[in-house]
């Protein structure tokens, strides 16, 4: 199930998703308490309802309260968002997207990260896939 384009989430919606992913599940009160400069409870409930409508969160009734859970694992949601960014900003070119990331001033990789990337590149070369 693809998620909405990451740029269609407001700053608050992204903050809420981060909170719910970090906790695994959260109530509206917990989300409100974790937000910087939190809005009122009703506003938090409204934003949670929007995220449910966008199919990013699902609701579970737990006694008198509601628990909100992500609809997909963070890594899967991240992968889907990255694919949309590559399509939108790099015309589908993984090479250009990776180059943009590595050309930044803060792109310092450890030897282990370089080795992992080299292995991924090797596996994704034509004929390089391992069974």
- The pLDDT score that the predictor gives to residue 15 is 94
- The pLDDT score that the predictor gives to residue 51 is 95
CA distance 95 to 8: 25
Q: Give the mean model confidence (pLDDT) for residues 90-95.
A: 90
Cα–Cα nearest to 15, from 42, 115, 37 = 37
pTM for the whole structure: 0.64
pLDDT digits (tens, 9 = 90+) for 5-21: 544 788 999 999 999 99
- The pLDDT score that the predictor gives to residue 69 is 95
CB 82 within 8 A of CB 6: no
């Amino acid at each position: 199930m693809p998620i909405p384009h990451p740029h269609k989430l407001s700053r608050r919606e992204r903050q809420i998703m981060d909170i719910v992913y970090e906790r695994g599940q959260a109530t509206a009160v917990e989300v409100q308490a974790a937000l910087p400069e939190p809005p009122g409870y009703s506003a938090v409930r409204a934003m949670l309802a929007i995220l449910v409508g966008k199919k990013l969160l699902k609701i579970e009734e737990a006694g008198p309260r509601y628990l909100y859970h992500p609809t997909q694992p963070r890594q899967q949601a991240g992968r889907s968002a990255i694919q949309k960014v590559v399509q939108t900003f790099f015309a589908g070119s993984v090479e250009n997207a990776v180059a943009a990331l590595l050309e930044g001033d803060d792109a310092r990789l450890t030897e282990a990260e370089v080795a992992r990337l080299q292995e991924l590149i090797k596996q994704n070369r034509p004929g390089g896939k391992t069974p």
